[in-house]
């Protein structure tokens, strides 16, 4: 399968995962709105606010994924992959906003606690929410494993946080209705806020790294060097530079060849190296510069 076909298949999988997230968030908002009106639970309100933000973030994510898959054009030669980490930053910002809101409401309810009504209904709805969210996370995990998408990965982290949120709501409702510990409900709200804070930080760092063109992990860089130097006609390499934008990886490097090698053969060796790299990194765009051995010293940032 060619790189273009691999990217197209990955894009279709990412799009399906994004649509699934929008559908699940919409369903959960309807369920939790009804449950909050009936129960007046602060933990339920926290979960409802989180689902509302999920819908907004998932909608932005869907648009970002669609835009990131748009082919390169004369004004965007490297494609539109950075739309994904931009969407991740937006998600992180909205998660942080929900944390502030939930913390204020939880502290207020700690000061003036009151009982939860219709606890059985809240538990039934949260059971449905947990089942639906588990199914969505499974779909997102498949998409992340096959595509490496930052946007889908950010959503997956958020919905994993939602699972903990939903479990927290269940625990808060049980403690409040069965053991009459009224403070349990707002305490769960604060616990949910803490989980969301961790989720926001993780999404922010991952998105920030892509926007700032952070190098690939050392294991990937070492693998690239190993692949390049496996070719017996490559005497040395330097100036390895890598970055990621969405699901596409960009790899640039210099290879050093026999100075007596013909230009035609040098081009063939370069193509062989590029093919070997793309076999390991199917969605990579590789640029290779050929140097005669010993004719050019690497820059201070060079990596051998």
List, for residues 104-116, the tens digit of each pLDDT value: 777 876 777 666 6
- Specify the range with the lowest mean pLDDT, choosing from 104-118, 135-149, 263-277, 284-298: 104-118
124-135 per-position pLDDT tens digit: 888 888 898 889
Locate the domains of the chain by residue range.
3-211, 218-292
Class of the domain covering 3-211: mainly alpha
**Does the structural domain 218-292 have CATH classification 3.40.50.1370?**
no
Spell out the long-range contacts of 255-258 with Cβ–Cβ below 8 A and sequence spacing 24 or more.
255/228, 255/288, 255/289, 255/290, 255/291, 256/291, 256/292, 256/293, 256/294, 256/295, 256/296, 257/233, 257/290, 257/291, 257/292, 257/293, 258/233, 258/292, 258/293
pLDDT band for 77, please (50, 70, 90 cuts). Answer: low
């Amino acid at each position: 399968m060619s790189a273009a076909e691999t990217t197209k298949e990955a894009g279709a999988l990412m799009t399906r995962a994004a649509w699934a997230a929008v559908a699940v968030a919409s369903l959960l908002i309807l369920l939790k709105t009804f449950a909050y009106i009936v129960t007046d639970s602060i933990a339920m309100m926290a979960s409802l606010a989180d689902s509302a933000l999920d819908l907004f973030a998932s909608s932005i994510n869907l648009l970002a994924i669609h835009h990131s898959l748009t082919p390169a054009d004369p004004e965007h030669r490297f494609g539109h992959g950075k739309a994904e980490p931009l969407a991740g930053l937006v998600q992180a910002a909205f998660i942080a906003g929900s944390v502030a809101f939930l913390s204020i409401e939880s502290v207020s309810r700690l000061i003036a606690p009151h009982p939860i009504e219709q606890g059985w209904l809240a538990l039934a709805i949260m059971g449905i929410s947990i089942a639906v969210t588990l199914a969505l996370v499974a779909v997102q995990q498949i998409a992340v494993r096959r595509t490496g998408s930052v946007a889908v990965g950010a959503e997956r982290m958020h919905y994993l946080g939602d699972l903990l949120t939903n479990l927290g709501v269940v625990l808060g409702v049980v403690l409040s209705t069965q053991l009459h510990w009224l403070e349990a409900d707002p305490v769960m709200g604060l616990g949910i806020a803490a989980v969301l804070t961790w989720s926001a930080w993780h999404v922010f760092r991952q998105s920030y790294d892509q926007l700032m063109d952070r190098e690939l992990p050392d294991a990937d860089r070492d693998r690239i060097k190993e692949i390049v130097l496996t070719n017996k006609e490559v005497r040395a390499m330097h100036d390895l530079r890598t970055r990621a934008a969405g699901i596409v990886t960009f790899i640039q490097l210099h290879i050093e060849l026999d100075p007596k090698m013909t230009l035609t053969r040098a081009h063939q060796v370069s193509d062989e190296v590029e093919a070997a790299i793309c076999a390991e990194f199917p969605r990579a765009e590789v640029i290779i510069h050929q140097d005669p051995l010993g004719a050019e010293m690497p820059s201070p940032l060079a990596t051998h």
